[in-house]
Structure 1
Amino acid sequence: MTDTHEKRITQNASALDLAMRLRQMISAYQVSQAIHVAAALGVPDLLQDGAKPCDHLARVTGADEDGLYRLLRALAGVEIFTEVAPRTFALTPLAALLRSDVDGSLHALAVLNGQDWFWRPWGRLADGVRTGSSVFEPIFGVHFFEYLQQNPAARGVFQKALAGASSRAAVADMYDFSASRRVADIGGGHGALIAAILGKYPQVHGILLERAAVLEGARRYLESAGVLDRCDLVESDFFESISAEADTYILSQVLHDWNDEAAHRILSNCRKAMASDGKILVVERVLPESGVQKGPLMDLNILVLMGGRERTQKEYEVLLARAGFRTTRVLEMGEAWSLIEGVPAE
């Protein structure tokens, strides 16, 4: 075999490899939808005690047996579930993360990503790129968060996914709240973050500011966590004012939902509410200034859904400075999440 022939074979193999990788990317939405359906049916939870035949899984979930078999067979092809015997499936390490009862569960995220109202705006991505604005409102007639207010089921799915976000659990572990007495979580959803802080720091009194539609769910969550007696629930619109007296204010996964002008209003209202010795903590997925980036896919999601944006550390520092804050330090929390601490500028 000549060197030229060997080189041609290598080039052909590389081209085939690239084409296969690209095909997988092109059809990735199919995998996402299949994962969503399996999670929504509760299949991973049904397999927690071991392999089960497809006819049993179909009876319990109310699915068509053949349709369910074809779904699980397809997912086994991407290492989610494994067919241990004909038409009998078991969990794989990936599928185990789709159980709803395990630490680090991605079940709620899988359920969220398959919701019609969550993925449909991606079909109008071209419009979002042309206009630089959200395409959610043209499709559904209201802003994303207004839609959640009007649809309790959708709001519940969204809040569960947020509560499971790794960044929220990490804040209480990585940041020292021992000097804090009153901590205000602005737009804190059902209270996963403030509950984690109160659970670790018994001297802290919490304040959760949210829309009225979210607060009842927050009350139940905080009561189940055993910290409701140390947390005030305050109905608030952070675009109007921040009605909380605290020494520490937290904005966790809030600013990325909004464009720069809206984010400036939120930060400015925090500054107005804050004493001169207060501090603000901004928790976000921070984009690198350059180089290989994965976060920008999330940035596109924020664009089409809400018209917001993911930002670099410098961009967050500029936002903070414009609202009257000085950045004091940045803590990296893993998976591109960072905690940016700021204090009132002198």
Structure 2
Amino acid sequence: MSGAQTPEFQLLEQSVGYFYSAALRAAALLNIADHLAGSAKKPDELAESAGVHGPYLHRLLRFLATRDVFAEDDAGRFHLTPSAELLRTDAPRSMRSAVLMLTDQVFWKPAELLDETVRAGATRFEEVFPAPFFDWLAQDEQAGDAFHFGMAAMSDSENRRIAADYDFSGCSKLVDVGGGQGGFLVEVLRKSPDLHGVLFDEEHVLAQHRLGEVRHSGGCEAVIGDFFSAVPPGADAYVLKRILHDWDDEESTRILARCREAMDPDARVLVIDAVIPAGNEPHPGKALDMLLMTSLSGKERTKAEFEAVFAGAGLSVTRVIPTSTPLSIVEGERESG
């Protein structure tokens, strides 16, 4: 066993893993990928165009290159890699905003209190910020924009594939509950031009909606509301993408109950979230679950846990549909009686 494979080395490497997140954030904030677009550069040349310190930039990029974000050639020039390309602000489906969201202080600072979170069995977010997570986003414009644009960027990498993985052909009206800027609904409408789409969310979120990106015969609209109170009635399908994982079981049951109240007998609810598999294999949902645990009240769920919150709202899970992304579609219908 080499030194780099020993349990001791693995623990030490994992202990400084937070510097990878910090380095990604720094590269995104400094727009390093933009300055490398078109040609490779040596650190001093790149530092001059980016307005930063050359030797320190070299150390940053050398570290990121160990994870295939940027690459250094034999002449000492740094190049964009496929991952680094996604840090460009003008890249198709850029992930820069997603990186900035996931490394924002609303997630970073509460993570420091993970031990206290585990002791208490609840987020310590309000020990760091003066309001619960979503209330704070509504109060702090910078934090709110970072979150909503970041979520849109993260979702853009998966929306088209998920929309293609479900058959919406029997659906004439769809409500995207808590749909944010509407990226997923736009992809569904592109696939199903006769479908009428309703983007449902709070007013400050809908101010940035993207429904204008699509023109189709079925029409679409943005409707302001609170999914804890009521959702628009009369749709064939109610989509909740990356919504329930933000909330604990009681709150998730309330959201689903509002959907059930709005549903016609033959309507469906489609919860799009990670479904945590059994075993100890890596899964993106397991990492995101730590973020949810420290900053929000929610969690990533197993199939059995989804079945429990569905049942609490008078719904039953009919099937779980894997997608070509880390997310699955948990389909449900109203329980009879």
Shared fold (TM-score greater than 0.5)?
yes
| 2:174 matches 1:191 | no
The answer to whether the Cα contact below 8 Å between 1:187 and 1:251 also exists between their aligned partners in 2 is: yes
- Per the alignment, residue 239 of structure 1 pairs with 228
Please list every run of 5 or more consecutive structure 1 residues that lacks an aligned counterpart in the other structure.
1-9
Higher helix fraction (1 or 2): 1
Query: Could you tell me how far 1:14 is from its partner in structure 2?
Result: 6.3
* Residues 1:71 and 1:228: Cα distance change in structure 2 (over 3 Å): farther
Equivalent residue letter for 1:200 = K
Q: 2:287 aligns with which of 284, 297, 301?
A: 297
Please give the alpha-carbon distance, in whole angstroms, between the structure 1 residues aligned to 2:280 and 2:69.
31
- Per the alignment, residue 6 of structure 1 pairs with none
Please give the alpha-carbon distance, in whole angstroms, between the structure 1 residues aligned to 2:5 and 2:185.
50
- Per the alignment, residue 307 of structure 2 pairs with 317
| 2:74 matches 1:74 | no
Query: Could you tell me how far 1:306 is from its partner in structure 2?
Result: 0.5
Equivalent residue letter for 1:170 = R
- Per the alignment, residue 206 of structure 1 pairs with 197
Q: Deviations over 1:117-171 (max 9, x none)?
A: 2211100111110111112122101111111112222222222222233443322
Q: CA RMSD in A?
A: 2.2
Please give the alpha-carbon distance, in whole angstroms, between the structure 2 residues aligned to 1:187 and 1:61.
38
The answer to whether the Cα contact below 8 Å between 1:32 and 1:114 also exists between their aligned partners in 2 is: yes
Equivalences for residues 77-226 of structure 1 within 5 A: 77-84=66-73, 88-103=77-92, 105-163=94-152, 164-165=154-155, 166-218=157-209, 221-226=210-215
Please give the alpha-carbon distance, in whole angstroms, between the structure 1 residues aligned to 2:92 and 2:101.
18
* Residues 1:321 and 1:155: Cα distance change in structure 2 (over 3 Å): same
Please give the alpha-carbon distance, in whole angstroms, between the structure 2 residues aligned to 1:261 and 1:224.
36
How many residue pairs get aligned? The number is: 333
The answer to whether the Cα contact below 8 Å between 2:260 and 2:334 also exists between their aligned partners in 1 is: yes
Task: Tell me whether 113-122 or 263-272 shows the greater mean CA deviation.
Answer: 113-122
Question: Identity, % of aligned pairs?
Answer: 35
* Residues 1:78 and 1:248: Cα distance change in structure 2 (over 3 Å): closer
Please give the alpha-carbon distance, in whole angstroms, between the structure 2 residues aligned to 1:307 and 1:108.
23
Task: Tell me whether 14-23 or 310-319 shows the greater mean CA deviation.
Answer: 14-23
* Residues 1:229 and 1:156: Cα distance change in structure 2 (over 3 Å): farther
Please give the alpha-carbon distance, in whole angstroms, between the structure 2 residues aligned to 1:104 and 1:25.
29
Please give the alpha-carbon distance, in whole angstroms, between the structure 2 residues aligned to 1:80 and 1:169.
25
SS of residue paired to 1:184: strand
The answer to whether the Cα contact below 8 Å between 1:190 and 1:217 also exists between their aligned partners in 2 is: yes
SS of residue paired to 1:179: coil
The answer to whether the Cα contact below 8 Å between 1:184 and 1:206 also exists between their aligned partners in 2 is: yes
Q: TM-score, normalised by structure 2?
A: 0.91
Q: TM-score, normalised by structure 1?
A: 0.89
Equivalences for residues 225-304 of structure 1 within 5 A: 225-226=214-215, 230-294=219-283, 295-304=285-294
- Per the alignment, residue 27 of structure 2 pairs with 38
* Residues 1:227 and 1:53: Cα distance change in structure 2 (over 3 Å): farther
Q: Deviations over 1:191-233 (max 9, x none)?
A: 0011111111110111111111111101xx2213446992211
Query: Could you tell me how far 1:16 is from its partner in structure 2?
Result: 5.4
Please give the alpha-carbon distance, in whole angstroms, between the structure 2 residues aligned to 1:75 and 1:326.
46
Equivalences for residues 8-47 of structure 1 within 5 A: 10=1, 13=2, 17-47=6-36
